[in-house]
Amino acid sequence: MFSKETIQKFQNTSTPFYYYDIELLRKTLEALKKESDKYGYVVHYAMKANANDEILRVIKSFGLGADCVSGNEIKKASEHEFEHIFFAGVGKSDEEINTALDRNITCFNCESLQEIEVIDELAKKKNKIAQIAFRINPNVNAHTHKYITTGLEENKFGINLWELEDVVMRTQQLKNIKIVGIHFHIGSQITDLSAFKSLCMKVNEIQNWFASHNVPLEIINVGGGLGVDYHEPNKNPIPDFESFFKLFKDFLEIRPNQKVHFEIGRAIVAQCGSLISKVLYVKKGVSTSFVILDAGMTELIRPALYQSYHKIENLTPSPLPRERGDSQQAGGVRYDVVGPICESSDCFGKAMMLPETKRGDLVAIRTTGAYGEVMASQYNLREKVKAVYSE
Ligand code: LLP
């Protein structure tokens, strides 16, 4: 929801841009801390969701760790002085591993024996011991979009259960590696919490296996994935962290000296961001009308890539009486809302209900704080997208 003053500010700013509501970000972080601190859980921010410096500054001030997936994310996390840095990713390059070793990160989340052997070799050259967690593929269905499901055997991520024994035994022989934990991540935008319950059950079994093989673990990292409400951002601006963390408290069996870690991205930043754009043209098609925006898939690729829904609001509704037409229904007109890029997939939503819309109107594409700005590209030699902050 935007105040009159905010909309006025938008009108004097060139579009498109991301707008970040910093107060909402703070409230979200307060809620997250309140619920996770109840159980002594350690939360890392999955920086891939949004690596904007202003956003990182706010998140860092709440004492979260950083979950990084590239050498550059590690550099950024250490510039911002995040306390703990974890390094995940199925394809860590030698250069990135060296960056991580030089910065003495807390833990490498490792996805194969070959990767662990490379880390061992590079750590040896630097006379260092690298702490690692095994990223294990638990084969748990997250019931989310197939492109953002990661914990099934068919996915490229993690060490499969049947190879675990061999990987652990061989890792124990490496001199420059210290095993500190196990790591899981089953997917993203998970709204059915029962998927996390299934994960807990799997982790309990796997923990028994490690205990029976006398491999001590300090870090039980259950990843991220908590979903947000894309349909009703005003009703549910802050995710239900209470139920989320309580579920782990209820179902995850923890041994003495173990800490539970999370890597949360979307749930922290999604709702605080909106992509603000101006209507360039309204064009009548054969069966529908198009609203053509000055923002496109170059600024927000999620609808084109995952067919994801984002609520779209016209912030400057027409003062004129509405045109009558077949597509008109109570409360508005249905439009296909599209961008200016030369691709048919450059579409933010089909048959979206909006008040009658005209050239020059301002539009907000909601819930775009996560995987929005970070996934922007300069395809068609577009300008780099700008950001504006509430404070
Ligand atoms: N940990 C690992 C190992 C991950 O791969 C991810 C996300 C996270 C944590 C954070 O997950 P979150 O809490 O944000 O769900 N671009 C896609 C989402 C890709 C997620 C990739 N991994 C989208 O726009 O929906």
CATH number of the domain at 241, please.
3.20.20.10
- Which of the listed residues 48, 135, 302 should we mutate to test ligand 1's pocket, taking the one with most ligand atoms within 8 A of CB? 48
Give a yes or no: residue 12 inside a domain: no
Residue 141: predicted pLDDT:
77
Q: Is the CB of 88 under 6 A from ligand 1?
A: yes
Q: Is the CB of 252 under 6 A from ligand 1?
A: no
Q: Output phi, psi for 221, to 5 deg.
A: -105, 115
Give a yes or no: residue 52 inside a domain: yes
Question: Domain check: are 169 and 301 in the same one?
Answer: no
- Mean pLDDT for all residues in the chain: 93
Cα 223 off chain centre by: 11
Residue 140: predicted pLDDT:
86
Whole-number Å distance between alpha carbons of 317 and 357: 7
Q: Which residue is closest in CA terms to ligand 1's atom 24? A: 371
DSSP one-letter code for 186: -
Q: Which residue is closest in CA terms to ligand 1's atom 1? A: 223
Cα 313 off chain centre by: 23
The Å distance, Cα 296 to ligand 1 centre, comes to 22
- Which of the listed residues 110, 137, 263, 307 should we mutate to test ligand 1's pocket, taking the one with most ligand atoms within 8 A of CB? 263
C-alpha angle 59-64-65 in degrees, rounded to nearest 5: 120
Question: Domain check: are 246 and 291 in the same one?
Answer: no
Give a yes or no: residue 5 inside a domain: no
When pLDDT is averaged across residues 193-221 and rounded to a whole number, the result is 96
**Is the confidence at residue 149, as pLDDT, over 80?**
no
Question: Domain check: are 245 and 282 in the same one?
Answer: no
The owner of tokens 């070959």 is 114
**Is the confidence at residue 329, as pLDDT, over 70?**
no
Q: Is the CB of 225 under 6 A from ligand 1?
A: yes
Question: Domain check: are 289 and 263 in the same one?
Answer: no
List, in sequence order, every residue forming a beta bridge with 68; answer none if it has no partner: 87
Give a yes or no: residue 255 inside a domain: yes
Number of domains composing the chain: 2
Residue 146: predicted pLDDT:
64
Question: Domain check: are 226 and 276 in the same one?
Answer: no
When pLDDT is averaged across residues 298-313 and rounded to a whole number, the result is 97
When pLDDT is averaged across residues 207-232 and rounded to a whole number, the result is 97
Cα 166 off chain centre by: 32
> Residue 121 belongs to what domain range?
22-269
Question: Domain check: are 66 and 115 in the same one?
Answer: yes
* Cis peptide leading into residue 16 (ω within 30°): yes
Question: Domain check: are 74 and 128 in the same one?
Answer: yes
Q: Is the CB of 189 under 6 A from ligand 1?
A: yes
When pLDDT is averaged across residues 25-54 and rounded to a whole number, the result is 98
CATH of residue 372's domain is: 2.40.37.10
Final residue before a domain boundary, out of 241, 269, 297: 269
- Which of the listed residues 111, 230, 266 should we mutate to test ligand 1's pocket, taking the one with most ligand atoms within 8 A of CB? 266
Question: Domain check: are 143 and 204 in the same one?
Answer: yes
Question: Domain check: are 45 and 164 in the same one?
Answer: yes
Residue 285: predicted pLDDT:
81
Alpha helices in 103-223 (DSSP H): 113-125, 164-172, 194-212
Final residue before a domain boundary, out of 269, 287, 321: 269
Residue 326: predicted pLDDT:
43
**Is the confidence at residue 327, as pLDDT, over 60?**
no
**Is the confidence at residue 150, as pLDDT, over 90?**
no
Q: Which residue is closest in CA terms to ligand 1's atom 16? A: 371
Final residue before a domain boundary, out of 251, 269, 287: 269
What torsion, rounded to 10 degrees, do the Cα atoms 149, 151, 154, 156 define? 90
Give a yes or no: residue 51 inside a domain: yes
The Å distance, Cα 28 to ligand 1 centre, comes to 18
In ligand 1, the atom with minimum distance to the C-alpha of 267 is 13
- pLDDT band of 259, cuts 50, 70, 90: very high
**Is the confidence at residue 319, as pLDDT, over 80?**
no
Yes or no: say if 347 and 337 are a contact pair by the CB < 8 Å rule. Answer: yes
Give a yes or no: residue 357 inside a domain: yes
- pLDDT band of 287, cuts 50, 70, 90: confident
Give a yes or no: residue 259 inside a domain: yes
Q: Which residue is closest in CA terms to ligand 1's atom 4? A: 185
Amino acid occupying residue 63: G
Question: Domain check: are 354 and 219 in the same one?
Answer: no
Whole-number Å distance between alpha carbons of 312 and 298: 17
Question: Domain check: are 186 and 252 in the same one?
Answer: yes
**Is the confidence at residue 328, as pLDDT, over 70?**
no
Give a yes or no: residue 8 inside a domain: no
Bin 66: left if φ > 0, else alpha if -120 < ψ < 50, else beta. Answer: beta
Q: Is the CB of 263 under 6 A from ligand 1?
A: yes
Question: Domain check: are 65 and 188 in the same one?
Answer: yes
The Å distance, Cα 98 to ligand 1 centre, comes to 24
